[in-house]
């Protein structure tokens, strides 16, 4: 046991040694997660070096997107499964976290009901629905953040991969999945707050969400999750299973004929990717402070794929670069030139697919 | 009292009558078997009777109405209608009985718009006068110069029946039907007698049926059981809601154990009638659901059929397909802006223009982007999604982010009433027909033309087609243009059904891909059948689950269906399917 974990450790180190971009990314992540809290907490708010809470939250949000992008790159870049519904897993994780945060509000809601969240009082509900039970306990919520997206991916993936739905067809039914979930969550009687979703959160684990310290803690947790997620995915890709997964991407039938259980590999990778997306969603909600059904919209899911494509698929760190680049551009454009954003994003899609098939990272690598 | 001047006016007015006839404002209903000779001979009677109105008591008026009705003169109908509406006046200056109406509403609107509100207000006070005897215009007057010939509720009722009896003699079946319905609302013994007389001579089946049902309903109150039994028999199969309510009341047991109908035999017959009515109601409700489902399915087919060409035949995933439909819808809007006087024709004009606009946009997309990405479907998906974002934003910048109002022409409004329980709106009906025609045209293009042959050849084996001399690049561009143009035409139809806004396309993209995949890629029949089937299933589920949940169920069903049959309802056969 000890030996095998040591073996794993050394294999991971070897993988990271070969992964220059990854080392660069992890190094940057460490530096950012050291500097950002310092710049937020130490200098006086008037100082030029001071980072506002807004900026800290913004960077935190980008990092949750980066986790999501890594999850998509894991299946798309390495296994050729293009999911146009990964936003659904992200949103489910977010909703699970949102349910915990809603229960934490307690009597501080507008209606002051100790058990029922505001929207249920508003809808004249008398009892908490059964699926809301347990969400007042943080460990249970964490379990659900992992389980709900995981089980959905397991069932969906089992059905899809077993009957060998692949390529474009898979993309379209994942899109239908997230679309169906969006319609469902928009309904008031689903018990998830209808189109308003959840908002007005007060605190997490007893710490106020408004305080700087909590925000920094959430930021660090996200950074840790991002780093951990990257290392985990890198480890999987570098492992023997990772080789099989890439073989499946390149020649699925050949891998199957050699004797690998293609469906199982795809299924477990898909489930892992969904779980990572769920975790990203759970970290996103307390920082952004709202979750609503528009997170399920098919457009959101396509946007995730775009981040990965722009960054460069099949590299993992490229996904991170793409997520941060596109979202930074989005923040900038929607602020400075709101009407230009969709033109820019649209043009980006076209240009990247036509001229940068390996993404920004691929283009840089080709130069050096 | 009759004034001398009014009497003197009659003969000269008489002489004018034939010449004036074509210019009548309100065309009187022609009466069957009305000889022109009788008409002239009754004129003095009409004038004389009218002249008695100003000084008549309500009881006198009642007699007058009966006498007027007995004249059987079409002009009497106008008089009675005016009396009912309170438009029959006496002019204070000369005591003439005249029909006065406010300036016609449309005229007033026009004059108000053209001449300004101030003058328009003056016009409101002016009443147009009409001589009921000559049916000629008699100038205008202000209300102060006129006094109304009053009626009370008792008289109003009499008037309605009198008018209905008048209309019963009309040669227009629709007028007769309306008259029968009016009489049935308050049917007394006299009315029954009139209807019993009429039903013998009635030639129109619908009017006859209506009278029979009405009389049978009246007979249900008859004291002897045999008449009631006959009435129940006559009511069998009627979908009239009154019939249903009456029959239900008959078989209902009140709290003291007595039935609404005392005779058990009649009751049994009524029960049998009720069952048959319920059966046919269920049947028509089923037909209605299917028609609604087909119309909803047709919308899906409409959205998907262009995609069936680009995705199904060419294998290109065009995420901008919805935006090409949006372009078609906006084309309709622009066409309507250019020809605001001809909204009815605008839709027809918009169809070819939308085909061209969206088709050219499609060819531009194919030449500019898609052709560089053949064989890389996922990249095509992303690039065309980029195009869709650009098109959406362009529309937002040009036409604003708000929905644009597209008018519905008159021939698309309203609904077709098939019987008492089954009605379908014209736009639903037209969308079904339009979609089917579009489908047939596309099918013909693909199966019967040179282009269609080449398209199928290229989609089955590109290299071989090229070797045989097919200009594949050219075929690709034209096929993409065809699919896109069809999307534009679909957009014209959708502009009549949903809001025309920048998000129009997005809301259909998931649905339309699902329809194509469900029907079987590369198969137009599959798209047509699949789309309609989904529409009907959706409508069948709706009463049990609500619209949103029905849609969710359909999506889940589709996801599961694709697992079972990954190649759709009608998979493409042959080597092409192996790809």
Q: Tokens at residue A15, please?
A: 């993988």
User: Per-residue pLDDT tens for A19-58?
Assistant: 888 899 999 999 999 999 988 888 887 787 888 888 899 9
Predicted structure pTM score: 0.75
pLDDT (mean) for B228-244: 78
* Smallest CA–CA distance from A157 into chain B, residue: B563
Q: Is A306 on the interface with B (CB under 8 A)?
A: yes
Whole-angstrom distance, CA of residue B461 vs CA of residue B466: 9
Chain A residues 330-359 within an 8 A CB cutoff of chain B: 339, 341-343, 345-350, 352-354, 357
- Which of A82, A168, A346 is closest, CB to CB, to B386? A346
Q: How many CB pairs under 8 A join A and B?
A: 118
Residue B551 confidence (pLDDT) above 80:
yes
- Provide the CB-side half-sphere exposure for B500 (13 A, CA): 27
Stated length of chain A: 368
Question: What are the Cα distances from residue B500, in Å, to B298, B328, B507?
Answer: 18, 10, 11
Determine, yes or no, domain membership for B488.
yes
Give ∠ CA A184-A186-A190 in degrees, rounded to 5.
60
Whole-angstrom distance, CA of residue A183 vs CA of residue B296: 18
Same domain for B149 and B184, yes or no, is no
Same domain for B322 and B431, yes or no, is yes
Nearest to B166 by CA among B87, B88, B70: B70
Q: Are A346 and B513 within 8 A, CB to CB?
A: no
Nearest to B266 by CA among B257, B278, B274, B277: B274
CATH topology of domain A2-367: ABC transporter involved in vitamin B12 uptake, BtuC (1.10.3470)
Whole-angstrom distance, CA of residue B132 vs CA of residue B98: 6
Radius of gyration of chain B (CA): 33
Domain boundaries of chain A, sorted by first residue: 2-367
Q: Are A306 and B385 within 8 A, CB to CB?
A: yes
User: Per-residue pLDDT tens for B61-118?
Assistant: 888 887 877 777 777 777 887 888 778 888 877 777 888 877 654 444 444 444 444 4
Same domain for B14 and B132, yes or no, is yes
Determine, yes or no, domain membership for B276.
no
On chain B, the residues whose CB falls within 8 A of the CB of A159 are 559-560, 563
Q: Are A169 and B392 within 8 A, CB to CB?
A: no
Question: What is the distance in angstroms between the CA of the first residue and the CA of the last residue of chain B?
Answer: 99
Helix, strand, coil abundance in chain A, percent, nearest 5: 75, 0, 20
* Smallest CA–CA distance from B546 into chain A, residue: A187
Buried b (16+ CB within 10 A) or exposed e, B330-367: bbbbbbbeeeeeebeebbebbbebbbebbbebbbebbe
On chain B, the residues whose CB falls within 8 A of the CB of A184 are 548-549, 552
Determine, yes or no, domain membership for B433.
yes
Determine, yes or no, domain membership for B541.
no
Same domain for B38 and B129, yes or no, is yes
Determine, yes or no, domain membership for B352.
yes
Same domain for B310 and B448, yes or no, is yes
Structural domain boundaries enclosing B216: 172-262
Give B2's pLDDT tier (boundaries 50, 70, 90). very low
Q: Are A168 and B562 within 8 A, CB to CB?
A: no
- Which of B383, B559, B564 is closest, CB to CB, to A350? B383
Give A234's pLDDT tier (boundaries 50, 70, 90). very high
pLDDT (mean) for B256-280: 81
In this structure, are residues A296 and A187 in contact, taking their beta carbons and an 8 Å threshold?
no
**ipTM over cut 0.90:** no
Q: Tokens at residue B43, please?
A: 């004129």
Determine, yes or no, domain membership for B429.
yes
Give B417's pLDDT tier (boundaries 50, 70, 90). confident
Same domain for B41 and B92, yes or no, is yes
Whole-angstrom distance, CA of residue B473 vs CA of residue B371: 8
Residue B264 confidence (pLDDT) above 90:
no
In this structure, are residues B181 and B210 in contact, taking their beta carbons and an 8 Å threshold?
yes
Whole-angstrom distance, CA of residue A93 vs CA of residue A148: 7
- Which of B379, B514, B560 is closest, CB to CB, to A353? B379
Give A4's pLDDT tier (boundaries 50, 70, 90). low
Determine, yes or no, domain membership for B309.
yes
Determine, yes or no, domain membership for B180.
yes
Looking at the structure of chain B, the number of domains it has is 3
Phi/psi at B403 (5° precision) = -65, 145
Question: What is the distance in angstroms between the CA of the first residue and the CA of the last residue of chain A?
Answer: 42
On chain B, the residues whose CB falls within 8 A of the CB of A173 are 517, 558-559, 562
Q: Is A13 on the interface with B (CB under 8 A)?
A: no
In this structure, are residues A100 and A260 in contact, taking their beta carbons and an 8 Å threshold?
no
**Quick check: helix, strand or coil at residue A163?**
coil
Same domain for B120 and B58, yes or no, is yes
Whole-angstrom distance, CA of residue B282 vs CA of residue B288: 10
Buried b (16+ CB within 10 A) or exposed e, B181-216: ebbbeebeeebeebbeebbeebeeeebbbbbbbbbb
Same domain for B487 and B365, yes or no, is yes
Q: Are B548 and A306 within 8 A, CB to CB?
A: no
* Smallest CA–CA distance from A80 into chain B, residue: B378
- Which of B389, B510, B564 is closest, CB to CB, to A179? B510
- Which of A160, A177, A345 is closest, CB to CB, to B389? A345
């Amino acid at each position: 046991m000890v030996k095998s974990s040591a073996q794993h450790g050394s294999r991971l180190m070897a993988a990271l040694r070969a992964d220059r971009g990854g080392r660069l990314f992890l190094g940057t992540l460490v530096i950012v997660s050291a500097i950002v809290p310092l710049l937020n907490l130490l200098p006086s708010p008037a100082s030029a070096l001071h980072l506002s809470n807004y900026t800290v939250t913004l960077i935190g949000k980008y990092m949750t997107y980066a986790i999501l992008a890594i999850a998509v790159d894991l299946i798309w870049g390495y296994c050729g499964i293009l999911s146009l519904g990964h936003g659904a897993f992200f949103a489910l994780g977010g909703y699970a976290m949102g349910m915990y945060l809603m229960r934490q509000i307690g009597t501080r809601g507008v209606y002051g009901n100790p058990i029922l969240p505001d929207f249920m009082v508003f809808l004249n509900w008398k009892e908490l629905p059964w699926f809301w039970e347990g969400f007042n306990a943080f460990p249970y919520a964490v379990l659900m953040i992992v389980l709900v997206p995981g089980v959905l991916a397991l069932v969906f993936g089992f059905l899809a991969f077993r009957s060998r739905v692949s390529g474009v067809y898979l993309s379209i039914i994942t899109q239908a999945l997230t679309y169906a979930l969006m319609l469902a969550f928009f309904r008031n009687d689903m018990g998830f707050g209808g189109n308003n979703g959840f908002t007005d959160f007060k605190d997490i684990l007893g710490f106020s969400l408004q305080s700087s310290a909590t925000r920094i803690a959430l930021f660090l947790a996200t950074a840790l999750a991002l780093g951990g997620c990257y290392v985990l995915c890198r480890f999987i890709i570098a492992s023997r299973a990772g080789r099989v997964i890439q073989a499946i991407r390149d020649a699925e039938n050949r891998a199957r004929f050699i004797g690998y259980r293609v469906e199982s590999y795809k299924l477990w990778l898909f489930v892992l990717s969904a779980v990572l997306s769920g975790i990203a969603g759970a970290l996103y909600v307390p920082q952004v402070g709202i979750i609503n059904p528009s997170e399920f919209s098919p457009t959101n899911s396509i946007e995730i794929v775009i981040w990965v494509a722009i960054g460069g698929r099949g590299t993992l760190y490229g996904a991170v670069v793409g997520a941060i680049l596109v979202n930074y551009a989005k923040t900038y454009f929607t602020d400075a030139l709101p009407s230009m954003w969709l033109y820019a994003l649209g043009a980006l899609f076209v240009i990247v697919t036509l001229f940068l098939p390996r993404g920004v990272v691929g283009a840089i690598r080709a130069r050096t | 009292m009759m004034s001398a001047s009014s009497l003197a006016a009659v003969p000269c007015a008489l002489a004018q009558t034939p010449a004036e006839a074509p210019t009548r404002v309100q065309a009187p209903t022609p009466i069957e078997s009305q000889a022109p000779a009788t008409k002239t001979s009754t004129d003095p009677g009409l004038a004389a009777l009218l002249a008695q109105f100003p000084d008549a008591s309500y009881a006198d008026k009642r007699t007058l109405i009966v006498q007027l009705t007995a004249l059987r003169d079409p002009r009497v109908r106008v008089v009675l209608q005016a009396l009912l509406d309170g438009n029959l006046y006496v002019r204070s200056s000369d005591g003439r009985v005249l029909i006065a109406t406010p300036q016609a509403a449309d005229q007033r609107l026009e004059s108000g718009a053209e001449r300004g509100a101030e003058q328009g207000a003056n016009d409101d006070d002016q009443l147009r006068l009409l001589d009921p005897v000559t049916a000629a215009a008699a100038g205008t007057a202000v209300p102060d110069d006129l006094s109304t010939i009053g009626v009370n509720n008792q008289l109003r009722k009499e008037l309605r029946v009198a008018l209905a009896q008048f209309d019963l003699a009309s040669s227009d079946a629709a007028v007769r039907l309306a008259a029968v319905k009016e009489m049935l609302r308050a049917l007394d013994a006299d009315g029954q007698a009139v209807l019993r007389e009429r039903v013998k001579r009635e030639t129109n089946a619908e009017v006859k049926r209506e009278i029979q049902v009405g009389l049978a309903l009246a007979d249900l109150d008859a004291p002897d059981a045999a008449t009631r039994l006959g009435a129940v028999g006559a009511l069998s199969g009627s979908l009239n809601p009154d019939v249903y309510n009456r029959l239900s009341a008959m078989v209902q047991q009140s709290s003291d154990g007595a039935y609404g109908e005392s005779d058990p035999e009649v009751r049994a017959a009524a029960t049998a009638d009720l069952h048959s009515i319920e059966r046919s109601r269920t049947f028509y409700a089923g037909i209605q659901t299917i028609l609604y489902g087909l119309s909803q399915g047709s919308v899906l087919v409409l959205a998907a059929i262009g995609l069936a060409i680009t995705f199904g035949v060419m294998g290109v995933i065009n995420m901008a397909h919805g935006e090409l439909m949006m372009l078609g819808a906006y084309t309709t809007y622009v066409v309507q802006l250019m020809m605001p006087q001809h909204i009815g024709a605008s839709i027809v004009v918009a169809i070819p223009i939308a085909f061209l606009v969206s088709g050219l946009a499609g060819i531009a997309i194919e030449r500019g982007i898609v052709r560089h990405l053949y064989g890389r479907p996922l990249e095509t998906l992303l690039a065309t999604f980029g195009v869709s974002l650009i098109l959406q934003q362009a529309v937002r910048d040009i036409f604003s982010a708000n929905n644009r109002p597209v008018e519905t022409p008159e021939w698309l409004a309203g609904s077709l009433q098939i019987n008492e329980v089954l009605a379908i709106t014209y736009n639903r009906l037209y969308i079904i027909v339009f979609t089917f025609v579009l489908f047939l045209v596309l099918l013909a293009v693909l199966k019967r033309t040179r282009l269609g042959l080449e398209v199928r050849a290229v989609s089955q084996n590109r290299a071989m087609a090229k070797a045989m001399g097919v200009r594949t690049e050219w075929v690709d561009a034209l096929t993409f243009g065809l699919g896109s143009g069809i999307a534009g035409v679909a957009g014209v139809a959708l502009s009549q059904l949903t809001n025309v806004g920048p998000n129009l396309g997005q809301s259909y993209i998931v649905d339309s891909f699902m329809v194509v995949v469900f029907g079987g890629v590369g198969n137009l029949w599959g798209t047509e059948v699949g789309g309609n089937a989904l529409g009907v299933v959706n409508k069948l589920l709706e009463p049990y689950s609500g619209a949103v949940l029905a849609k969710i169920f359909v999506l889940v069903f589709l996801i599961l269906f694709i697992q079972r049959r990954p190649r759709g309802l009608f998979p493409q056969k042959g080597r092409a399917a192996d790809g």
